[in-house]
């Protein structure tokens, strides 16, 4: 009888191990059916297009930041800055290359006004806005940081609102 219990326990533990292994592997290789069974996908509420006709100050834009200069931490620092300004930064990482001369803003949805607003918030002229619509990106704008990143927020030195005075009271 003890042998039968031991055999049954052995089979049960083996089956339990296989089930756990299958779940772990399916989550790692991203099998949607199994993943959704344990981690349901939350769907954002839909907004009709008649509600939003043009970007306004209360709209939240989804942007990604790409490091095009190879300087460690610049994309992450830009993410922090943009989030403090109300942008939804959905991606941060390296660009395809690190030889980008000037920071550019890329319109990904065909709404150049949004890209120009992002450019303006970084102090960049409208000429820095390019258009490369890619529906698979699921974001509004891509920011590619170039070698000129030091002159745009958050990297630019803070500008003083009052003139700097000597410590000897102007004499």
Q: What is the pLDDT along the chain (171 residues), one digit of tens a residue?
A: 677 677 777 888 888 888 877 766 665 555 554 445 554 443 333 333 333 233 344 578 999 999 999 999 999 999 999 999 899 999 999 999 999 999 999 999 999 999 999 999 899 999 999 999 987 878 999 999 999 999 998 888 776 544 434 444 444
Give the number of other Cβ atoms within 10 Å of residue 118's Cβ: 25
Is beta strand 88-94 parallel, antiparallel or unpaired with respect to 62-67?
parallel
Assess contact for 155 and 74: CB atoms under 8 A: yes
pTM: 0.59
């Amino acid at each position: 009888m003890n042998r039968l219990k031991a055999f049954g326990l052995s089979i049960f533990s083996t089956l339990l191990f296989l089930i756990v292994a299958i779940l772990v592997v399916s989550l790692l290789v991203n099998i949607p059916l199994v993943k959704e069974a344990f981690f349901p996908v939350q769907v954002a509420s839909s907004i009709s297009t008649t509600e939003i006709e043009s970007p306004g100050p209360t709209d939240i834009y989804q942007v990604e930041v790409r490091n095009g200069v190879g300087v460690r931490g610049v994309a992450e620092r830009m993410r922090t800055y943009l989030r403090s300004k109300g942008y939804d930064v959905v991606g941060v990482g390296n660009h395809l290359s690190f030889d980008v001369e000037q920071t550019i803003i890329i319109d990904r949805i065909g709404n150049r006004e949004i890209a120009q607003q992002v450019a303006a918030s970084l102090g960049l002229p409208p000429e820095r806005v390019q258009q490369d619509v890619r529906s698979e990106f699921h974001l509004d704008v891509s920011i590619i940081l170039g070698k000129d990143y030091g002159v745009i927020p958050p990297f630019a030195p803070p500008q003083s609102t009052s003139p700097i005075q000597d410590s000897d009271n102007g004499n």
